Chains A and B, each alone.
Chain A
Amino acid sequence: MVKKVLGLTVADQASLLRIAILGLISLVAIGSRLYSVIRFESVIHEFDPWFNYRTTRYLVNNGFDKFWNWFDETAWYPLGRVVGGTLYPGIMVTSATIYNALHLLNIPVDIRNVCVFLAPAFSALTAIATYHLGKEVKNATAGLLAAAFMGVAPGYISRSVAGSYDNEGIAIFLLVFTFFLWLRSVRLGSALYGALTALSYFYMVSAWGGYVFIINLVPLHVFALLAMGRFSNRLYVAYSTFYVIGTLASMQIPFVGFQPTFTSEHMAALGVFGLIQLVAFASFARTLVPENHFRVLLRGAVVSLFVVGLSGLVLLTMSGVIAPWTGRFYSLWDTGYAKIHIPIIASVSEHQPTAWPNFFFDLNMLIWLLPAGIYFSFRELSDNHVFLILYSIFAAYFASVMVRLILTLTPIVCVLAGVAMSHVFETYLNFRDVPPSSPVKASAVSSAAPAADKAQRAADTVSDDVAVEDTDSASGHKKRGKGAKKSAAKAAEAATDTSADGAATPSTPAPNELSPGLKRFYTIFPKFVVMSCFMFLLCMFQWHCSWITSTAYSSPSVVLSSRGPDGSTFIIDDFREAYYWLRKNTKPDAKVLSWWDYGYQLAGMADRTTLVDNNTWNNTHIATVGKIMASDEDTAYELARRHDVDYVLVVFGAMLGYSGDDINKFLWMVRIAQGVYPDDIKEEAFYNQQGRYAISDDASPAMRNSLMHKLSYYRFAEVMGGRGTDKVRGQKLPTSVTLDNFEEAYTTENWMVRIYKVKDLDNLGRSHHAASKF
C-alpha cells in the first residue's frame, strides 16, 4: 500500500498534489478574470470602482492621516462629502499596502494596475479559502471541488473581473475566510481561532457593508445550535471571543462607529451573546442544583427574560435609541417597498428582485447540486453542517429578492456543490470495493459504506486525492470532453487491473453467479456511465462559465465595443472622450451637472466638481438635479445658475442605439424629483395624450420643453435628416429643438455624451431668448 514515488511518502505526495491543484485553480481563477483586460485594456470599470480608485489614489499620494480626514469639496457641490467617515476603507488600504510594498522593492507599478488586478488576485485567495471551508465541513476532495467551482462561478466573477475594483472584490474572500475560521473555532472551541475570526471579521467590516450578513448569520448559527440543545463549552468560547473582539474592532471603523450598539441590524448578535451567557450559566447551575429545582428555575427565568428582553427592545426601538432598519433592509423583506417609498433605491437595476434564469445563468449546474449538498449535510448533522444549511437557506432567500446578492449565495453553493460532488466521486470512482455478489450483501455493504466513508474522511487518504486529481484535471477546462472520457476510461482500466491482480478483491464467486469478467463489467459499467455524465456536466459547467465571463461580465461599461458586419470590432470610447475633454479644457474648478450615475466617473476621469454622485446620500439634492433636467429651459437656467453650474452633461444613445442613456432614465429623474417637489414636477405630464412616453413631435409639452429633451436632441435632426429616427426608442426625431440659455460645448464622436455650457448672463440684461432673436 505505502509506495514511495520520487522519495515522497504518500502523505507528502497528497499534499504536493493538493498544493499543485490549488495553484492551478488559482491560475484559472485569475486567468478567467482577465478577459476584460485582453479585450479592452487595464481600465477601471463601471461607476463605484471609479470612486474607490480615486480615493485609493488620494490615499497613496497623501498618506493615511490625510485620507482619514479627507473632506472632499468637489463632490455634492456645494455640500461636500466627508470621505474618510463615509466609506469602507478596506479595499483602499489593501491596495495602498500592496502598492507601497511593491515600491519598497523598487517595482514601479502604477496604482491603477494594482487596483485593476486586485479583484482577480483576491479571487485566487477566495478559492483557497473555499478549499479550507470545504475541507472543514467534509474533506479535502470536497474542498478542492468547492475551490474549483468558486474559482470560476460566474456569480462571483460578475463582481471580480479585472478592473472591477469594488468592495465585493475582496469582501467575498473575507466572507468565506471568516466563515471558515468561525467553523474551525466552533469545532475546536479554540479562543485563538475565535480571535482570528474576529480579526477577519474586522477586516470584512472595513471592506464591505455586507458584513451585516456575517454578524447576523453567526449568531443565528449559535442560536440554532442552542435551540437544538447543542450547547457546548466550545461554542461558548468561540462565540464569546468572536463577538467581544469582533464588535469592539468593528467600532473602530468611523463609518460603522457605534452602530453595533444601537441599530437593529446588530441586535441579534447582542441578543445571542446575552443568551449564550445565560445558557452557559444555566448549564453551570445545573451541575450545582438538583434536577427538579432546576426545571422550575429555568421556566421562571426563560419567561421573565423573554418578556423583559422583548419589551426592552420594543421600548428602545420606539424611543429611537435603537435605530429601526434602514430602507435598503426593508426592501429585503418587502420587495415592493422601495418602489413606493424610495425610488432612488428602486431605480438601481442591481436592487431588483432576481429573475429565475439568473440563478442558472450565474451558477449553472451548481444550483441543482445545492439541494443535494443540503441533503448530505442533513444526513450527518454536525455543528458545521447546521451552519451550512442556515447559510444556504438565508443566502438563497436574499439572492432571490435582490440580484446583486447572488454574490453572497455563490460561496455556499460552491461549497455544498463540492460536498455533493465529492459524494458522487467517492461512490462512483471507488473501484477498489468488493463488487456486491447478492442483494443481501449489497445492502450490507451499503450500510457499511457510511462508516467506511467516515474513516476515509477522517484521515485524508490517498484514494481521495487521486480521485480529486483525476476529476479536477477534467474540470480544469484544458481537456475537452473526449480527453476527460479517455482519462476516466484509463482510470477504470487501471482499477480493473488492480482488481484483477487480486490484491484488494478477495471475492469468491458462488457457483450460480456470472463469470468474473461479466461481473466486473456490471460493476464498472454503471460507474463509468455515471462518471462520464458528470464529466460531461463539469466540462459544460466550465464552458458555460468561460462563455458567460467573456460575453456578459467582461465589459468595462466605460468603454463599449460593437461588432461590424464583417466581424471587426469597433471600440466606442465616447465616455472617456467627453471626460478627458472636460479634464483638459475646462477650468479646474468648473462645476458639472449630470445625473448621479456619472458622478463618480466625472470625479475620477474628468477631475471636476459634481453636484451629485453614486453615493446618493442626499435625496433632496438628487431631486434638485432631477428637477433641473425636467424643468423648462428658463427654470432650469435659473436653478443651474443658482447652483453655480458651468457645464451640463447628458448621455444620449439615439445615434448608436445605446439604450442606457439619459432619456431612458428620465422617468426615474422625474419620479425622484416629484418625490421632493410634487408641486413643480408631475410624472403624468411627461406622457403624451395616448399615455405613451414619446420623444418626437407628438410628445407632451412638458417633455418637449424639458431641459433633458432639449439637450439630447438639440440639432440632432440636422444630421440624421428630416426622416431620421431615434435608434433606441424607434421613434421619429423631434423636428424643432431650440436652445437659448445653454450652448454646445462638446459632443463626442458618436453623440453619446453631449456637454453644454451654461451661458453667462447677457451683457445688456436681456433674456437669452431675446438676445438670440435679436
Chain B
Amino acid sequence: MRVLATLCLVIPWVCLASSATKGLVNTNVIRTVDLQGLPFVREQVGVVIQNDHDSKVFKTYTISIDQDKAPNLSQLQVFERKSGHSLDLTKETPSTYRAVLRRGLLPGEKLSLNIDFVFVSLVQPRPQAVKQSDDQSWLWADNSLVPSVYPTRKQKTVVRTKGDVRAFTDGGARDGKQSVVFGPFTGEQDGGRVEVGFKDNSEQMEALTHRREYFVSHWADDLNVLEHYALRSLGPESAFDKVDQMVSKYMHRRDNLVKTLLVKVPAEAREMYFVDEIGNVSTSAVSKQRRAKGEDAFRVMQLRPRYPISGGWNYTWWHGYSLPLSRYLKVSPQSRHHLRLPFIGSMAACASLEGELTLAMANAQNTAVRQYELRVTLPEGARDIAVELPVAGRARLEPTKYYFDSIGGRTAVVITHENVAPELYARHILVSYSYSPWALWMKPMMVGSAFFVLFVLASIASRMEYGLAPGGRSLGAKSKAAKKD
C-alpha cells in the first residue's frame, strides 16, 4: 500500500521531468512586483521561452497563477516584447490561461514575452492593529518562484515599494530603500516563501460592491447617475481613540482615519445628493469647476462619511447627480441612438483634513472594486439594443418597470465585472438602440388619458342618482331636507 502511494507521488514527477526536457522551457524569468500603487499590485513577468523539443511546433503558451491569488486577479495581458503585440488569451481553469502565439514556435527558437498581471488587495497590514495615528505597515508575501507549467532555468523577483522597506525574508537583497531582490534562482533551487514588510501611509480601500446606474430620459434631456458603494478599509485596525483624533485634528497631524471620499464628476453635474441607509449625510461639499490637461472640466464632490473610517470598518452609501443627456447621446439619421458612457466612475478615499485636500488626492487610485455592476436603464420604447464593452464579457438585458411605465416597460443593460483594474477607469461603454420619435410622446399621452378617464368617471359619478326612491331624491338632497326641518 505504502509503495503504491509513493509510486503515485513519484510517477507524475518523473513524467513531468522527462517531458520538461523535451518541450517549452523558460530560460530566464524576471518578475517585478510593483507595490507602489496599493491596493493594486502589478506584477510584470518578463519571460524568455525556448522550444527544446526536437520536432514539435508550439503554438500556445500556458500561464499559471497561484491558486490563492487567482480570486484577486484583476487583469492579465501578454505582449511580445519585441513587437509589442498583445496576444489573445483564453481561460482554461481558474488558475491557468492559454496565450496564442502569433506564429508557431519552431524547435530551438526563442521568444520573449511580457506578462502583466494586476492583482487587488493582496497585501495585508502587519501588525494587524496599530495606534490610530501610527504609521501603517504592510506585508507582501509570495512564493519565491514564479509558477509555471514549464521548467524554469533561471529566475529572480524584484519587489518595489512606496514607503521604506522594514524587513524581508533572508535570502533577499536590499536594493535601495524601497526595493528588494530575491534570487536569482536556478534550476530546482527554491527560495521558499518570501516576505517583504514595508511602510506605506497611503489610504487603501476596497469596495466590496459598487453599482453604477444610469437612467436615460429623452423627455427631460437627463442622464441620471447613481453610484452605490459598500466600502471597507484595508488599513490596520486600531482601537478608536477620540482624544487622539481631536488632538491630531487641532495639531494638523496625520492619522489613519479616512475622513473624506473624493468623487470627480463632470462640470455640468447638477442635483447632487449623498445618502446612506438612514438618510441624508449632511456633511459634504462640492468644489468649484476645475480643469486638468487632457480632461474635460470637472468638479470634485467631497463626501464626508458619517464617521471617519478606520481600518477594517465598513461604510455604505450612495450618491448621484444629473447630467445633460445630449452630451452623451448621438443620433444618426435613421434615428439610431448611440450612447457613450464612462464604464466606471472613480472614487478616492482621503485621510487628510478638509483644508488640505489637493487635486492629486482626488486622482489617487486607492479603491479596489471587487464586485462591480453597471446598469443602463434605457427609455421606454428603445429597441434593437446593441452594446460594446471595454472588457471581455457580455451584457444582460433586463426588463424593468419604472415611473408610470405601463405597456412595454424599459430595458436595462446590466454588466457585471469583478476586480476592476485601474485601466478601465478611462474606458467607455457604447449602447446603441433605435428609438422612434413617437415613443417620446407615449408617456405624456398615457398620463393625460389617465386623467381624462378619471374626469369622465367623476363626471358620470356626479350625475348618477343614488337614491332608492323612484323620484330620485339623492342622499345629499335628503340630508339637506332633513336639516331644513
Residues of A within 8 A of B (CB): 41-43, 105-108, 184, 187-188, 458-459, 559, 571, 573, 576-577, 579-581, 583-585, 605, 715, 718-719, 743-748, 751
Contacts and interface: CB of A to CB of B under 8 A. Distances in A.
B277 interface: yes
Given A41-B282, A108-B402, A746-B240, 17 more contacts: A43-B279, A184-B479, A458-B483, A571-B283, A573-B281, A573-B282, A573-B283, A576-B279, A577-B307, A580-B307, A583-B277, A584-B313, A715-B242, A719-B242, A719-B243, A744-B241, A744-B242
A108 B280 CA distance: 19
B307 A605 contact: no
Interface in B264-288: 276-283
A761 B479 CA distance: 77
A43 B276 CA distance: 12
Contacts of B2: none
A459 B485 CA distance: 11
B306 interface: yes
Interface string B357-396: 0000000000000000000000000000000000000000
Interface in B237-262: 239-243, 246-247
A252 to B, nearest CB: 28
B482 A187 contact: yes
A621 to B, nearest CB: 26
B315 A584 contact: yes
Contact of A580 (B242, B247, B276, B402): B276
Contacts of A583: 277-278
A580 B483 contact: no
B314 interface: yes
A580 B277 contact: yes
Contacts of B406: 106
Contacts of B306: 573, 576-577, 580-581
B404 interface: yes
9 contacts: A106-B405, A108-B403, A571-B282, A580-B276, A580-B277, A580-B307, A584-B314, A744-B240, A747-B242
A719 B246 contact: yes
Interface string B134-165: 00000000000000000000000000000000
A188 B482 contact: yes
Nearest to A571: B282
B330 interface: no
B280 A43 contact: yes
A459 B280 CA distance: 53
B401 interface: yes
A747 B240 contact: yes
Give chain A's interface secondary structure class. mixed
Nearest to A556: B279
Closest 4 CB pairs of A and B: A747-B242, A571-B282, A41-B280, A584-B314
A244 to B, nearest CB: 23
B484 interface: yes
Nearest to A751: B242
Interface string B389-417: 00000000000011111100000000000
Contacts of A107: 403-404
Contacts of B239: 743-744
A489 to B, nearest CB: 34
A718 B241 CA distance: 12
Contacts of B283: 571, 573
A114 to B, nearest CB: 15
A559 B306 CA distance: 13
A106 B402 contact: yes
A719 B246 CA distance: 8
Interface in B307-326: 307, 313-316
A10 to B, nearest CB: 15
Most-contacted residue by chain B among A187, A559, A577, A743 (CB, 10 A): A577
B427 to A, nearest CB: 30
A41 B240 contact: no
A373 B280 CA distance: 46
A60 to B, nearest CB: 16
B281 to A, nearest CB: 8
A559 B313 contact: no
A584 B316 contact: yes
A748 B307 contact: yes
Nearest to A189: B482
A41 B279 contact: yes
Contacts of A743: 239
Given A43-B280, A188-B479, A585 B404 contact: no
B12 to A, nearest CB: 46
A579 B276 CA distance: 12
A573 B403 CA distance: 32
B240 A559 contact: no
A329 to B, nearest CB: 36
A72 B29 CA distance: 62
Contacts of B479: 184, 188
Contacts of B279: 41-43, 576
A403 to B, nearest CB: 28
A106 B241 contact: no
A315 B184 CA distance: 101
Interface string B212-243: 00000000000000000000000000011111
Interface in B407-465: none
Nearest to A457: B483
Contacts of A584: 313-316
A579 B242 contact: no
B385 to A, nearest CB: 21
Given A187-B482, A719-B243, A579 B404 contact: no
B387 to A, nearest CB: 24
B305 to A, nearest CB: 9
Contacts of A719: 242-243, 246-247
A718 B479 CA distance: 76
B357 to A, nearest CB: 19
A583 B315 CA distance: 9
Most-contacted residue by chain B among A187, A580, A747 (CB, 10 A): A580
A585 B238 CA distance: 13
A649 to B, nearest CB: 14
B484 A459 contact: yes
Nearest to A578: B307
A747 B283 CA distance: 17
Most-contacted residue by chain A among B276, B316, B480, B483 (CB, 10 A): B483
A745 B307 contact: no
A744 B242 CA distance: 8
B461 to A, nearest CB: 15
A187 B484 CA distance: 12
A585 B313 CA distance: 6
A579 B306 CA distance: 10
Contacts of A581: 306-307
Given A106-B401, A106-B406, A715 B243 contact: yes
A764 B302 CA distance: 47
B278 A579 contact: yes
Given A458-B484, A744-B242, A747-B240, A106 B404 contact: yes
A43 B403 CA distance: 23
A748 B240 CA distance: 11
Nearest to B276: A580
A100 to B, nearest CB: 14
